[in-house]
Amino acid sequence: NSGFRIGLVQMSVGKDVDKNLGKAVEKVRHAAKKGAQVICLPELFRSQYFCQQEDAAFFDLAETVPGPTTEVLGKLAKSLGVVIVAPVFERRAPGVYHNSAAIIDSNGLLAGFYRKMHIPDDPAYYEKFYFTPGDTGFRAHETSAGKIGTLICWDQWYPEGARLTALQGASVLFYPTAIGWHPHEKAKHGEAQRDAWRTVQRGHAIANGVYVAA
């Protein structure tokens, strides 16, 4: 492979899911203008991170795949000729929901799909209330740009996920992520937490001979 340029979108989100999607579309266009061929959006980007509390009303944010988000981003990918990694709060069946990512190829079609495997459950990260652990396994996906893998957020602390994805030929591992600091911990633990996180990401890249985009 002759190599390809990637774009990582980092964006703030509000309460209006359609405005968030519109903002994501603009960010993808911006990245494509700068030459990105594979563009990754943040975890659960269509809404604010709702897992800070347990509230059944948030299940209304979930959608099917294919569905509204993949339809809009599929058309966008085709019109721009880019690959998009599109995280989705997936409604799979009544009572079964996943934290997922659709890999949309430059022809607008689904090139692959991943469901988050490692689901945290801590104060302010009540993900086990919302998400069933993924059953897709760790995969590499053939796209027009090259072979890529995507995992999601807390997966990024586990070397096994990186290894299994890299063994299938992925040249880049994407880790779309929604979380940042615990504000009350940042002053005391922030530097150590950030150093640990960077070290683990670098470890994935070095141990597997791949690029890591997180």
Q: What is the pTM of this model?
A: 0.96
pLDDT tens figures, 137-186: 999 999 999 999 999 999 999 999 999 999 999 999 999 999 777 888 89
Q: Is the distance from CB of 101 to CB of 86 less than 8 angstroms?
A: yes
Question: Is 54 assigned a catalytic role?
Answer: no
How far is Cα 39 from Cα 139, in angstroms, rounded to an integer? 18
Mean pLDDT, range 130-143, rounded to an integer: 97
How far is Cα 56 from Cα 206, in angstroms, rounded to an integer? 41
Please give the pLDDT value at position 2: 67
Of 27, 43, 90, 127, which residue is the catalytic one?
Answer: 43
Please give the pLDDT value at position 171: 96
Amino acid identity of residue 172, one-letter, is: V
Please give the pLDDT value at position 205: 98
Of 51, 90, 116, 127, which residue is the catalytic one?
Answer: 116
How far is Cα 125 from Cα 130, in angstroms, rounded to an integer? 10
Question: Is 27 assigned a catalytic role?
Answer: no
Question: Is 43 assigned a catalytic role?
Answer: yes
